Homo-oligomer: A and B are copies of this chain.
Amino acid sequence: MRIALGQFNATVGDLAGNVAKMKKIWSDAMAAGADLVAFPEMAICGYPPEDLVYKRQFVRDNRMALEELAAACDRQTVVVGFVEQGEHGLYNAAAVIRKGRIVHTYHKCNLPNYSVFDEQRYFQSGDRPVVVDVGGLRVAVTICEDLWHTQRLTDLLMGVGRIHLLLNISASPFDVGKLSLRGEVITKCAGAFGCAVAYCNLIGGQDELVFDGRSILADSAGHIAAKARAFDEDLLVADVREDGGGVKVLPTQPPAAQPADTVEEIYQALVLGTRDYALKNGFKQAILGISGGIDSAVTAAIAAAALGPQNVQCVTMPSRFNSPETIVDSQLVADNLGCPLLAVPIEPILAQFHASLKADPLWTDEGIAYENLQARIRGMILMSLSNQGGSLVLTTGNKSEVSVGYSTLYGDSAGGFGVIKDVLKTMVYQLAEYINRHSGREVIPAATIRRIPSAELRPNQKDTDSLPDYDLLDRIITGYVEEDKSARELVDSGLPVETVERVIRMIDRNEYKRRQSAPGVRITPKAFGKDRRLPITNHYTTTVKR
């Protein structure tokens, strides 16, 4: 039996577009001699559709789109995800299409309702297995999370008899470490059921999520026989054969190249997430402020890779606090990338604001308000240019800054998409080095990488005036934000008590800023956004009781 996994980039709500893509992929699969073609979870409507499924017309339209696809797939067997309206509610469903007709519907049993997932908000759980015969092999259909709970899956499949292949259609978002988890789950399932596993994942960016593809075929020994491309569309084709007591998987193509390491994985995730957010929201061009610092340099490089350097407008907006070196480096980054550069000095605007704000007797040009004003003037310049030219403003704040609120609301945080908002500063450095290595030249100037970080909003400012060293800061953020550790636990792991308590206070107090920030690519198991839902009004603080 020949299987083809149609890993593609679906767009949420683009029913006609998704169906058109699948028809084309189906034809390719037929040309490749496939008996069974799988498409990802909710491939008809895109994932996650969120509250769109509350619109009855949307669910009806998604059904009609499924029927259109079914009619076109008039040969062999196709499995595809959609939203089904049942008698007692909605289901996250998989249709089995045979020779142009929908012959079975499977309902997802395990509905994730943690992290970024809200499936119990929308869907009822299924409780019936669907097993189909394809080319003499018995194939059990499952959806994403179903595979992750072996015991529940065993209960579900009890009594269906011998299964040769577990087919799983997924929409599994990327984060660092996710791939190895998937591998473990797949190996475990192969072992538990003595069958091959075919795992078909989505690719593409959808708001804060990026789906990485890397669909997997494993044999009944749990060995991963084939893996589709990362962060790109692919059609993974293999023969699945019973062989003695086991089931073999024989790919028809040479293996796809895979990211070499975590840094390359993150880079590719950021490029795809940025490209898809821009293009799927109708922006061919992006614009960003470039300071000569590492964050804006890395953001610009990712944007240039995503949209083409000619489509990334860099803007330098110097004030009297910017050093000659950073001004030179901002020019250098734009030149190295091949991005157009525009200079809009902010001093005259800053002077006029300062004069007007003296209407308030409290106003002064020293302190945080005056610093924020500079960042906001820059944000406004970018938004004005964006409104005039129709480009997407990219923000350049990293996760370390976003965590502790080291940013100006409506200032450097103003924009439509935060490219590196889930990337810790220590990883930004690794990305900069990767970008230079990968390009084979110094795209990001060595001086930019070496320079002591500064927001340059007052004379001789350094980030370390307000923050601990980034190595330490990032360890605290990882423990507190991503692992929900208490102050006590962090201190017990060897971190300094005063710094831990101070950083935690900063993280807690800046929820209001994050709530108004742009979406950005999620690359960690816990990003800010749908992943971490904390109240703004919150009097709880964790301290080390002394």
Contacts and interface: CB of A to CB of B under 8 A. Distances in A.
Interface of A: 11-15, 17, 45, 48-52, 54-58, 61, 113-114, 118, 120-121, 205-207, 276-277, 280-281, 342-346, 348-349, 351-353, 355-357, 359-360, 362-364, 367-369, 372-373, 376-377, 379-381, 383-385, 387-389, 409-410, 414, 416, 484, 486-489, 512, 515-519, 532-542
B52 A534 contact: yes
Given A50-B533, A58-B542, A535-B48, A384 B410 contact: no
A359 B344 contact: yes
Nearest to A282: B509
Contact of A207 (B11, B281, B536): B536
Contact of A540 (B15, B346, B534): B15
A540 B52 contact: yes
Given A121-B113, A512-B416, A384 B353 contact: yes
A404 to B, nearest CB: 17
Contacts of A489: 57
A345 B359 CA distance: 10
Contact of A410 (B52, B120, B281, B380): B380
A484 B56 contact: yes
A475 to B, nearest CB: 18
A377 B486 CA distance: 41
Give the top 6 A-B pairs by smallest Cβ distance, nearest first. Answer: A13-B540, A57-B486, A369-B387, A14-B539, A369-B388, A13-B539
A14 B539 CA distance: 5
Contact of A380 (B376, B488, B541): B376
22 contacts: A12-B538, A13-B539, A45-B540, A52-B540, A55-B486, A57-B486, A58-B542, A113-B120, A120-B120, A207-B536, A207-B537, A277-B537, A280-B539, A353-B380, A357-B384, A362-B385, A363-B384, A363-B388, A376-B380, A409-B414, A515-B519, A516-B518
Q: How many copies does the complex hold?
A: 2
Contact of A533 (B51, B367, B540): B51
Contact of A373 (B342, B351, B384): B384
A178 to B, nearest CB: 19
B12 A539 contact: yes
B387 A383 contact: no
A533 B376 contact: no
A376 B349 CA distance: 13
Given A118-B121, A205-B537, A383-B410, 17 more contacts: A12-B538, A52-B535, A54-B484, A55-B486, A58-B540, A114-B121, A207-B537, A281-B512, A342-B359, A349-B352, A349-B353, A349-B356, A356-B381, A357-B385, A369-B384, A369-B387, A372-B387
Contacts of A57: 486-489, 542
B362 A372 contact: no
A416 to B, nearest CB: 6
A200 to B, nearest CB: 22
A51 B13 contact: no
A47 to B, nearest CB: 10
Contacts of A206: 535, 537
A55 B389 CA distance: 45
A410 B414 contact: yes
For A484, A538, A541, the residue with the greatest tally of chain B CB atoms inside 10 Å of its CB is A538
Nearest to A379: B410
A207 B380 contact: no
Contacts of A17: 539
A519 B344 CA distance: 33
A334 to B, nearest CB: 15
